[in-house]
Amino acid sequence: MTAPEAVAGLALALVVLAALAPQVLAPGDPLAISPADAFTAPSLAHPFGTDESGRGIWTRVVHGAGASLSIGAAATLIGTGLGVLLGVAAGFGGGRLPGRIADVGVSRLLEVLFALPGLLLALVVIAFTGPGAVPATIAVGLATAPGYARIVRSQVVRVRRSAMVEAAVVLGRRPRTVLLRHVLPNALAPVVVLATLGLGQAVVWASSLSYLGLGAPPPAPEWGAMLSAGRTYATTAWWMTVFPGLAVVVTAAAATVLGRGFARRGNDVA
């Protein structure tokens, strides 16, 4: 493991710790207000300062890790799950007519979805479902699914044409057996790496939706919602936006560094 990967792993481990056990790092109440401490600059008492209601930014950032990371992880699971279903449906048909129809249909659908930027596609979904943490999670998951589907399809097609799968077909293995025992185990390995990379992207997109007021509603301790609340005071209380923004950047960067490390090791093994 390289030094950047070690640092990224440590950073992501701290974020996961904050998500699973926030009271260990910040035992306070992220929703407790203290008007007398409003707009306090970073100090020993309040390392990240306080917001307009006197709530500690450090406490809110730590407790917000659970919401932000869970939304990003759930969206990644939705995206990968849907991507695998579409990719397998498109890539495993072989030369049979139903398979070719599925491949052409899914491929055309993915082309249409790729014509829209991912965040714009998420906004379209939000327009139908309405704002909120759960709709934002679903929207981000659906927006990331086309990318996973394209990769899965290409991997399934590659494995399906391999000598191993051809031998299984010649031996009379049923298509379901070939898919479960030979195709999926060899085609889905890159998806795990892509999901690690996609986690950072999902966290950024979920925070972006919350920043626009379409995700977790205030005063929820969620990073995007905190950025949205702090933008009004950006010139007078910079800490209200800097520290939640750093949390988003560090989480996304750490996931990206680790994902690229996994991808590099996978290529070396291959």
- 12 in a structural domain: no
- CATH number, position 190: 1.10.3720.10
Per-residue pLDDT tens over the stretch 186-238:
777 778 778 887 888 889 988 988 888 888 887 889 999 999 999 989 889 99
- 7 in a structural domain: no
- 35 in a structural domain: no
- 22 in a structural domain: no
pTM of the model: 0.82
What is the number of domains present in the chain?
Answer: 1
In the predicted model, what is the mean pLDDT of the chain?
84
- 57 in a structural domain: yes
Domain span including residue 132: 47-269
| pLDDT > 90 in the chain, percent | 33
- 247 in a structural domain: yes
| Ordered DSSP codes for the chain | --HHHHHHHHHHHHHHHHHH-HHHH--S-TT---GGGTTPPS-SSSTT-B-TT--BHHHHHHHHHHHHHHHHHHHHHHHHHHHHHHHHHHHS-TTSHHHHHHHHHHHHHHHHHHTS-HHHHHHHHHHHH-SSHHHHHHHHHHHHHHHHHHHHHHHHHHHHTSHHHHHHHHTT--HHHHIIIIIHHHHSHHHHHHHHHHHHHHHHHHHHHHHTTSSSPTTS--HHHHHHHHGGGTTT-THHHHHHHHHHHHHHHHHHHHHHHHHHHHHHH-
- 36 in a structural domain: no
pLDDT score for 264: 74
Per-residue pLDDT tens over the stretch 166-192:
787 777 777 778 777 778 887 777 787
- 133 in a structural domain: yes
Per-residue pLDDT tens over the stretch 40-84:
999 998 999 999 999 999 999 999 999 899 988 999 999 999 888
pLDDT score for 166: 77
